[in-house]
Chain A
Amino acid sequence: DTAVSQTPKYLVTQMGNDKSIKCEQNLGHDTMYWYKQDSKKFLKIMFSYNNKELIINETVPNRFSPKSPDKAHLNLHINSLELGDSAVYFCASSQGAWGSDVYGYTFGSGTRLTVV
């Protein structure tokens, strides 16, 4: 039973298209995140939601729009895809909203997005 699951695992699409990545967690966590990992393996937070409410919104183009229909889901929609959007996107969840606990974060397995 996967704790944090993302779909799809791989996504290849053309420039200019709109695509979505879905994330679901069955851990009962209150907070969910999107991270972007570039080709150099550097990870950077994009968004975080606590109980469906946006709490972190880093400097990300507004072509990226997160949507949280309920606290177990956080989807990422990307409009007008660009070559530079190619990366691995990780979803994660954590128990708390402010401050961590001993469990840290649970990550999904990532979605590799390739824009051609």
Chain B
Amino acid sequence: GEDVEQSLFLSVREGDSSVINCTYTDSSSTYLYWYKQEPGAGLQLLTYIFSNMDMKQDQRLTVLLNKKDKHLSLRIADTQTGDSAIYFCAPEAPYTDKLIFGTGTRLQVFP
């Protein structure tokens, strides 16, 4: 089955860029999503990328997809303290109608 890996922690200074990385094993995912989970809350869809795209920009968020290396990244420009949360990479497992979540990366933003 699909395996999704993310590093567990990332710490950045306010105003810097954050880059959260994700590797996955199944290259046939059609959609790949990024979710954000704030403390004590549910998951919130942040953005997604379709598998035939290399890059998608959405305001402060940039998603990069390298299908050959099965690598997905989320860049947050001008990171703010409100961005502190856990970020989940979630490729869609093909033909199964389910998402496979990575472990999540805990982003901590300090002043």
Contact = CB atoms under 8 A, between A and B. Distances in A.
A45 B99 CA distance: 8
A35 B99 CA distance: 10
B86 A41 contact: yes
Contacts of B95: 98-99
A103 B45 contact: yes
Contacts of A43: 43, 88, 101
Interface string B96-111: 1111010110000000
A94 B41 contact: no
Interface in A89-116: 90, 92, 94, 96-110
Interface string A1-29: 00010000000000000000000000000
Contact of A108 (B37, B42, B88, B96): B42
Contacts, number: 66
B44 interface: yes
A108 B92 CA distance: 19
Given A42-B101, A109-B42, A110-B41, 7 more contacts: A4-B42, A43-B43, A56-B98, A99-B97, A100-B97, A104-B31, A107-B42
Interface of A: 4, 31, 33, 35, 40-45, 48, 50, 55-56, 90, 92, 94, 96-110
Interface of B: 30-31, 33, 35, 37, 41-45, 48, 50, 86, 88, 90, 92, 95-99, 101, 103-104
17 contacts: A4-B42, A41-B103, A42-B101, A43-B88, A44-B101, A45-B98, A45-B99, A55-B97, A56-B97, A56-B98, A90-B42, A94-B97, A98-B95, A102-B31, A104-B31, A104-B45, A107-B35
